[in-house]
Amino acid sequence: MNLLDIRNLSIELVHDDQNILAVDKVSLSMKEGEVRGLVGESGSGKSLLAQAIVGVLDDKWHVHADRFHWRGIDLLRLSIEERKALLSRDIAMIFQEPMACLDPTTTIGEQLAEAIDANSLTGFFWQKQQQRHSASIKLLHKVGIKSHSACLNSYPHQLTEALCQRVMIAIALARRPILLIADEPTAAMENSNQVQIFRLLASLNQLKNMSILLISHDLENITHWTNTITVMYSGQFVEAGTTNQIFNKPLHPYTRALVDSSPSANFHLPAKSRLMTLPGSIPILQHLPIGCRLGPRCPRAQQACVIAPSVTNFHGHKVSCHFPLMPIKAPCVSKRNC
């Protein structure tokens, strides 16, 4: 059974004269214990999608979905309170921009203690207080902060961005979530710290069977750590498949361009040669092209691309393109024909 199953989720920004479709019919499914990467450039709606899953978008965003299941429970049928109770127990999220997301007026210690599950504490209130304290120290150690007392007593502005990011991760891990949504967890960090954080997430995935939705704008950064990858462009679904499929046999021209444009993925290229790239820039929300939004930049675009393509499934490798890079054979019905 799928952990998370979302079908055709759309997010609309309600505006005075016209509504803007920021995310257009994106499907996402996650299995238990899976690390899925969600890749897209800025403005691709990947953070919006994550926020819609957790349910923290405000009123001006309208979210519709054909199906929204969490471990077999239809979330669309629950009331808002029930849904919140369920999701806040099972899902945790690491937000982008840790400095902006932590409360600037309280110390890290208080914010961390607040996140710890009250049900896990026993005894009288002074004992609970102590348990909270030791639990928050343990969490800090887990995310690699050694000087816990200095960290607990300081305010967010006194710490560096990378330390704040680690505190955010500690807060997210406090309730032992089943699904962790990590929205650019290593954006503010250096390479060596990035690897540490990814290793931590990978070990949690393996030891605690925690599923992770890893959101990043850079394909090459996360390929080592993911099982499956979903690619988005400008609010539309592009391609989904295993990391190997996406990286070595991309079907969509956009994914192909992403892989080809990364110099670290193309070791055979001579130094200082021209990199393969898509012309133009990412469309802004006010001026989205109709149909396939990659259309104006796509090297394979034809007339049919003014209509948004439907998703084709090819042995679990899903692609949304009229003219994919490899001819897709129709999936055979019986094994004898193959």
Partner 1 sequence: MTTLLKVKQLSKSYQQRGLWLKKESFTVLAPTSFSVEAHKTLAIIGEAGSGKSTLAKILVGAEPASSGQIYLNGQLLQAGSYKQRCQHIRMIFQDSGTTLNPSLTILQLLDEPLKLNTPFDEKKRKALIRTTLQKVGLLGDHMNFYPHMFSGGQKQRISLARAIILQPQVIILDEALAALDPSLRSQMINLLLDLQQQMGLAYILISHNLGIIRHFSDDLMVLSQGKVVESGKTLEVMNNPQHKVTQKLLMNQNFQLKLRKK
Would you count residue 97 as binding partner 1 (CB under 8 A)? no
Told to check if 230 binds partner 1 by CB under 8 A, we report no
Output 122 or 264, the one with its CB closest to partner 1. 264
Asked whether position 269 contacts partner 1 by CB under 8 A, the answer is: yes
Strand partners, 239: 231, 319
Q: Does 243 bind partner 1 (CB under 8 A)?
A: yes
State the minimum distance, in angstroms, from the CB of residue 226 to partner 1: 11
Q: Is 198 in the site for partner 1 (CB under 8 A)?
A: yes
90: left (phi over 0), alpha (psi -120 to 50) or beta: alpha
| Beta carbon of residue 247, minimum distance to partner 1 (angstroms, whole number) | 6
Burial class (CB in 10 A: 0-12, 13-18, 19+), 267: exposed
Cα gap 301→311, rounded to integer Å: 17
Among 60, 157, 272, 329, binds partner 1 (CB under 8 A): 272
Shortest Cβ 241–partner 1 spacing (Å): 13
Q: How many helices (H) and strands (E) does the chain have?
A: 11, 13
How far apart, in whole angstroms, are the C-alpha atoms of residue 189 and residue 163? 9
Alpha carbon 49 to its chain's center: 8
Of positions 2, 7, 12, 41, contacts partner 1 by CB under 8 A: 41
Q: Which of 52, 113, 231, 278 binds partner 1 (CB under 8 A)?
A: 278
What's the alpha-carbon Rg for the chain, to the nearest Å? 22
Structure tokens at 174: 């406090």
Q: Which of 20, 150, 275, 306 binds partner 1 (CB under 8 A)?
A: 275
Chain residues in the site for partner 1 (CB under 8 A): 41-42, 190-192, 194-195, 198, 217-221, 223-224, 243-244, 247-248, 257-258, 261-265, 267, 269, 271-278, 281-282, 284
